């Protein structure tokens, strides 16, 4: 088994991409939360292209035993938000249910980044994979390591447009996603594929 399969499975043993908790599992194993994460990449490496990095992260989410009902937005090309001397990004949003805590989910997102050999070269710079928790149920929190909803959510069309694609009736901290101006501003954004 590869280290990626172990990571996706959330424990040692064979990865099981077809596992979906039943109603009894949900009652016996605790609360499930609807979550959304942003995926982004603009740096190829020996593990793949930006699109492949997003696809591998999606496979990791789908294969984790404590994550189910994974859906993915279209992939989008976006102009870099930070320094402009870097390639355009490929972005998407994944939605799913999880019984991981917010901090367990954060740790898993960071493991996904590490599995793509993410290197932090500079702030808002190029990266092989970025996996950010956007929303975790109705939770609102501000901690040193984690802010939910994501601190830059309302300013980023490359997050809000794919999020609106997945959940057009979503309300974020009392605000309808359709009322967020960036959720309909296509400046610097191009749809690459639809799922």
Q: Which residues are catalytic?
A: 118, 127, 130, 132
SS3 state at 110: helix
CB atoms inside a 10 Å sphere around CB 43: 21
SS3 state at 173: coil
Burial 62-75 (b: 16+ CB within 10 A, else e): bbbbbbbebebbbb
Query: What is the rounded CA–CA span in Å between residue 115 and residue 97?
Result: 22
Q: For the packed helices 102-115 and 50-63, what is the interaxial angle rounded to 10 degrees?
A: 140
Query: What is the rounded CA–CA span in Å between residue 167 and residue 123?
Result: 30
Query: What is the rounded CA–CA span in Å between residue 114 and residue 122?
Result: 16
């Amino acid at each position: 088994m590869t280290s990626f399969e172990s990571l996706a499975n959330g424990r040692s043993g064979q990865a099981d991409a077809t596992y979906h908790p039943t109603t009894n599992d949900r009652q016996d194993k605790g609360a499930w939360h609807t979550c959304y994460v942003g995926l982004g990449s603009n740096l190829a490496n020996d593990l793949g292209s930006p699109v492949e990095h997003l696809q591998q992260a999606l496979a990791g989410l789908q294969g984790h035993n404590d994550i189910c009902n994974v859906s993915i937005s279209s992939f989008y090309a976006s102009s870099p938000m930070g320094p402009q001397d870097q390639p355009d990004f490929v972005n998407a949003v994944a939605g799913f249910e999880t019984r991981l805590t917010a901090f367990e989910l954060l740790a898993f997102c960071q493991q996904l980044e590490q599995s793509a050999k993410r290197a932090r070269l500079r702030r808002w710079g190029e990266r092989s994979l970025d996996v950010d928790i956007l929303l975790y149920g109705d939770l609102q929190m501000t901690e040193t390591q984690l802010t939910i909803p994501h601190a830059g959510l309302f300013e980023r069309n490359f997050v809000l447009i794919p999020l609106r694609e997945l959940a057009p009736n979503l309300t974020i901290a009392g605000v309808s996603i359709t009322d967020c101006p960036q959720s309909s501003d296509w400046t610097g954004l191009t749809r690459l594929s639809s799922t």
